[in-house]
C-alpha cells in the first residue's frame, strides 16, 4: 500500500462571480502531493498550479501562499491537473491523507460543479479512500479542538520545511507527521489542555478553515 499526502491552496471567489453552477466562496489554485511507500518514506512528489475559472487571486492570498497571477494565467484547468495526478499515481494501490476534511470537500464540490466525469478521477474521489489525518491526530491525543498543521509539527518536535500555505511544502510537512506517528505508534506529545483539565469545547475549525469560511 502507498500513501498519497495531498494539500490544496485556494483563492476566493467574489460574490459577483458566483452563480447557480458555482456558488462557493473558494476555488483551487494549487495541488501539492507526496507519495509515500509502505513504510511511509517519501517516494515521489507532484505539484501543479490550477487555473481558476471563477476565483480571483487577491493580495491576501498571494502574500499568504506566495502564488502570483502569472503562475495561474497559463496553468491547466482542474480537470487536466487531476488527470495528470491520477496518471502519476498509476495503478499503485494507495490511500489519500489530508490535513482536515476541507480539501476533500473542496475537491468534491469542484469535481461536481465542473462536471468532471473521468473514471480515474471519480475513483480517486471515493471518500472511503480518504483519511483526515487532522482528525486522527486530534482523537489520538484527545484535543478538544482542531489542531493546525504548524502547531502539530511543533508538538511532534518536527522542524517544518519550506513555506506554510504552499501546496507541496504543506504536503511534505504533513507527510513528516504521518511518518513519525505511524512508524512510532506509541509516540506521546504534551497536551496542555488535557493536563490542565480544560473541559471540551468541541471546536471544529482551525485558523486555515476559518479563513476558508470567510471566503479568503
For 159, left (φ over 0), alpha (ψ -120 to 50), or beta?
A: beta
Tell me the pLDDT band of 193, cut-offs 50, 70 and 90. Answer: confident
Q: What is the CATH number of the domain that holds 24?
A: 3.30.420.10
**Whole-prediction pTM:** 0.88
Q: Are 94 and 1 in contact (CB under 8 A)?
A: yes
Q: What is the mean pLDDT of residues 148-152?
A: 97
Instruction: Quote the pLDDT of residue 194.
Output: 65
Q: Would the pLDDT of 148 be above 70? A: yes
Q: Would the pLDDT of 214 be above 90? A: no
Q: Residue 118 and residue 83: Cα distance in Å, rounded?
A: 8
Task: Give the chain's domain count.
Answer: 1
E strand residue ranges, 13-101 = 26-36, 42-49, 94-98
Residue numbers of the domain that contains 36: 2-214
Give the tens place of pLDDT for each residue, 56-84: 999 999 999 999 999 999 999 999 999 99
Instruction: Quote the pLDDT of residue 141.
Output: 95
Give the tens place of pLDDT for each residue, 84-125: 999 999 999 999 999 999 999 999 999 999 999 999 999 999
Instruction: Quote the pLDDT of residue 28.
Output: 98
pLDDT-above-70 percentage for the chain: 89
Amino acid at each position: 500500500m502507498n500513501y498519497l499526502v495531498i494539500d490544496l491552496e485556494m483563492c476566493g471567489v467574489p460574490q459577483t462571480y458566483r452563480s447557480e453552477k458555482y456558488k462557493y466562496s473558494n476555488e483551487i489554485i494549487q495541488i501539492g502531493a507526496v507519495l509515500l511507500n509502505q513504510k511511509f518514506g517519501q517516494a515521489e512528489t507532484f505539484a501543479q498550479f490550477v487555473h481558476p475559472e471563477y476565483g480571483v487571486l487577491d493580495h491576501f492570498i498571494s502574500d499568504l501562499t506566495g502564488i502570483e497571477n502569472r503562475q495561474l494565467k497559463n496553468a491547466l484547468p482542474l480537470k487536466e491537473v487531476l488527470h495528470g495526478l491520477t496518471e502519476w499515481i498509476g495503478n499503485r494501490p494507495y490511500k489519500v491523507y489530508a490535513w482536515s476534511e476541507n480539501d476533500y470537500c473542496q475537491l468534491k464540490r469542484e469535481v461536481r460543479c465542473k462536471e468532471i466525469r473521468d473514471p480515474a478521477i471519480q475513483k480517486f474521489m471515493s471518500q472511503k479512500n480518504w483519511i483526515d489525518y487532522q482528525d486522527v491526530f486530534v482523537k489520538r491525543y484527545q484535543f478538544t479542538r482542531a489542531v493546525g498543521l504548524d502547531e502539530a509539527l511543533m508538538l511532534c518536535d518536527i522542524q517544518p520545511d519550506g513555506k506554510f500555505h504552499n501546496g507541496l511544502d504543506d504536503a511534505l510537512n504533513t507527510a513528516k507527521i504521518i511518518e513519525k506517528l505511524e512508524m512510532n505508534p506509541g509516540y506521546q506529545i504534551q497536551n496542555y489542555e488535557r493536563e490542565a483539565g480544560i473541559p471540551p469545547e468541541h471546536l471544529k475549525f482551525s485558523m486555515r478553515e476559518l479563513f476558508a469560511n470567510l471566503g479568503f
